[in-house]
Every structure is written in structure tokens, then in C-alpha cells.
Amino acid sequence: MMTKIYLAVKVYATFHLLYELWVFLFRRKIYGLWDKLYRWARVIRIILQRWYQKLEAARIECRKRHEMREKRRKKEKTVPHSVVDCEVIGKTKSVYIPDPKKAREPVRSEPLPESDFIGEDEDISADDVDYTFTDDEDLSSDLTDADMQALMAPVETEPDPDFPTGIPISRISDAADVLMSGTDNMEKRMRTAETLFQLRDTDLFRLFAENICPQEELDMIITECLTHNGERKAFNEDVPAIAQVNWDDYM
């Protein structure tokens, strides 16, 4: 019941608002406002129409100017070059005809100095050459024994300090055996020290220090057997033997 009453009140209010709006819009006092709106709409339409006409006239004028400019450019392209040259008053056109005699003569020439050059020798054939040597003749008979020994002697070459000499694999293997066995043989230790001295600052030397012997022990062997220049030190026989090192403790 309450719902029906609520809907009836709502419908009545809606119709009442619509009726009041109708009376407000179409009563006599509002007719003057409608006339003003109509007049303003006509004024705006006339202004827009005139503005569109001016804009269209400007477009047509711009199109005409563009067409005239294109026609002028086409005319300038079709004008021959001779006509353009004749536009300057007093301008002359010179044509140079080459002289064949002057073309043959050099512009700057100097006489060649006289020389004693006779010319190239003619080719001499093999038949004109006297061959006095035989294949069985010993050409070494003119050389003395001292000359033969000097020619056959081996040439002593000094190694270039800028290029390092190679180390045989056998020497590297012997050095590894000496380091692992810890021998007291001074000659082997000397050769091992020389090998290590040549391998300094290389990857192989670091491989020895990481897998076979510590870095301190390698430096100790080098300083024990060699000088700072890599030369062997002189040892006396009275020097006591160095205590044997057990390398298994460092492995």
C-alpha cells in the first residue's frame, strides 16, 4: 500500500513540474526572449557565411598566384642560353681556334745535354761464350787448407737479448723431478735454478708454484744457485750439505 502511495505522489510531482515548465516557456512574457535568440542566430549565420566567402576568395587568390608562379618557372626553363648571354649590353663571345703547329711544339723545352752513352749491349748468345770449365774439374784446388777450414767452420751466433730462447721439454721435466724429489745433487739443482730463472713471469712458473712447490721455495732455489743476472754461483767443496727438504709436506 505504501509503495502505491509513493508512486502516485512521484507521478503527480513529475506532471506538475512539466506543467510549470510548459507555462514558463510558452507564456506571453517569454516571447521576447525567443525573438532575440532567433535574431542572434540569424546574425551569427550571416557572419559565418561572410567569413567563409572571404576564406574561399583567399584560397582562390592563393591558387592563382601559385599557378602564375609555376607558369613563370616553366618559361624561365624554356629560355635558351644564348638569349640569356645577349641580355648583357657590350658583352662579347670569344671563340678560340686551336693552332695545330703550336700544339706540336712544347711550351717549355730544354735541349738535352750530350752524353757518352753508346746504347744498350746486344744480346749475346750461348754459342758465342767460351766455356773453359769441365764438370769433372775440381774447383777447390785453388783454395788452401786454411781457407777450406775457415769456410767449413760453424758460424757462432750470439742470441738476441730481445727475443727469449726456447726451453726444451726435457729440461722442464727434469726441473719438475728435482723439485718433487728434493735431491741434493748440486748440478741438478743448478740446472733447475737456471730453468726456473728463464721461466720467471710466465704461466708455467706460476703452475710450478701452485702444483709442485711454493713460491718461496722456488725463489730460494734461484737465489741459492744463481746471481741476480742469472749466472751460476761458485761453491766450495767445504760448504756443508744443505739439509734435505721433504716436499711431501708442501704438497
CA 226 – CA 220 distance, rounded (Å): 10
DSSP characters over 4-33: HHHHHHHHHHHHHHHHHHHHHHHSGGGHHH
Place of cell 770449365: 133
For the chain, the domain total comes to: 2
Please tell me the predicted confidence (pLDDT) of residue 159. Answer: 56
Residue linked to cell 726451453: 167
Question: Is residue 194 situated within a structural domain?
Answer: yes
Question: Facing residues of 226 across strands?
Answer: 232
- For the entire predicted model, the pTM comes to 0.31
Residue 118 belongs to a domain: no
Are the CB atoms for 230 and 197 separated by under 8 Å? Answer: yes
Q: What is the full per-residue pLDDT of the chain (251 aa) written as tens digits?
A: 788 888 889 999 999 999 888 877 776 666 677 778 888 999 999 999 999 999 999 999 999 999 998 888 887 776 555 545 555 666 667 777 777 777 777 777 777 777 777 766 677 777 777 766 665 555 555 677 787 777 777 666 665 555 455 677 788 888 888 888 877 788 888 888 888 888 888 888 888 888 887 888 888 888 888 887 778 877 654 445 555 666 666 65
Q: Which domain-ending residue is among 18, 41, 68?
A: 68
Residues 6+ apart with CB under 8 A from 242: 184, 224
Please indicate, yes or no, if residue 45 is contained in any of the structural domains. Answer: yes
- Tell me which of 68, 90, 123 is where a domain ends: 68
Q: Which residue has the cell 601559385?
A: 66
What is the reported pLDDT for 59? 92
Task: Give phi and psi for 13, each to the nearest 5.
Answer: -65, -40
The three-point CA angle 142-147-153 to 5° equals 140
Evaluate whether residue 116 is within a structural domain: no
Residue 239 confidence (pLDDT): 47
Cell numbers found for residue 41: 542566430
Query: 10 in a domain, yes or no?
Result: yes
Could you tell me if residue 163 is inside a domain? no
Tell me the C-alpha distance between 10 and 3, whole Å. 11
Decide if 87 is inside a domain.
no
Q: How far is CA 196 from CA 20, 40, 127, 251, in A?
A: 118, 111, 67, 19
Answer whether residue 9 is part of any domain. yes
Return the amino acid letter for 14. T
The residue segments making up the domain with residue 181 are 169-250
Residue ending a domain, choose from 49, 68, 87: 68
